A and B are shown apart, each in its own frame.
Chain A
Amino acid sequence: AQSVTQLGSHVSVSEGALVLLRCNYSSSVPPYLFWYVQYPNQGLQLLLKYTSAATLVKGINGFEAEFKKSETSFHLTKPSAHMSDAAEYFCAVTKTSYDKVIFGPGTSLSVIP
């Protein structure tokens, strides 16, 4: 069965600082991995996805994530945080194109001016 853990339910960074949100997954088969962002009172928006092509995946808003099979990790990074990045971030995994997507517990990102 798939599962996702996200280390740190809440992360605070200063504006302009590096953002690092951690995600580790468990999967019995090569997974598809995703990062979704949720702004307050809104739905889930895809930031980026890994589908077994390049291990370094670039997404929207300057975010990127690196798939490391040996570490079963898919950490999300952004070189320089912006105030508008404050949101809830969810790492997610699925085993096929159409199977259910399992979400991690989420990390709330705060950006301090």
Chain B
Amino acid sequence: EPEVTQTPSHQVTQMGQEVILRCVPISNHLYFYWYRQILGQKVEFLVSFYNNEISEKSEIFDDQFSVERPDGSNFTLKIRSTKLEDSAMYFCASTGTGNSGELFFGEGSRLTVL
């Protein structure tokens, strides 16, 4: 069964460093999303992406964040200068035609900022 894959599963970084989280969405999907979940808290929307541009972004998704689909298969989330409060689980999701809004999630990338 097709699935969304994310790498790395866990990344530890120093405050102020740049981080890139990678996702490979399901191959025939066209809509891509990033969510984050701070430990023990709710799942929060960050950004949606379609047709090579951002469709919508939340207040969390400030200038420190960017997304890219560099090669037609990967979908990346970059955090330019990490802060302690960026420590969270980051989930990539995708969906396509006929899925009635259902998002297919990856297993997540846990980011720890020290």
Q: Interface of A with B (CB < 8 Å)? A: 32, 34, 36, 42-46, 49, 51, 90, 94, 96-106
Contact = CB atoms under 8 A, between A and B. Distances in A.
Given A103-B42, A103-B43, A104-B42, A97 B101 contact: yes
8 contacts: A43-B107, A45-B105, A97-B97, A98-B31, A98-B95, A100-B33, A101-B103, A102-B45
Interface of B: 31, 33, 35, 41-45, 48, 50, 55-56, 91, 93, 95, 97, 99-103, 105-108
Nearest to A106: B42
Nearest to B106: A43
B54 to A, nearest CB: 11
A32 B101 contact: yes
Contacts of A32: 100-101
B101 A49 contact: yes
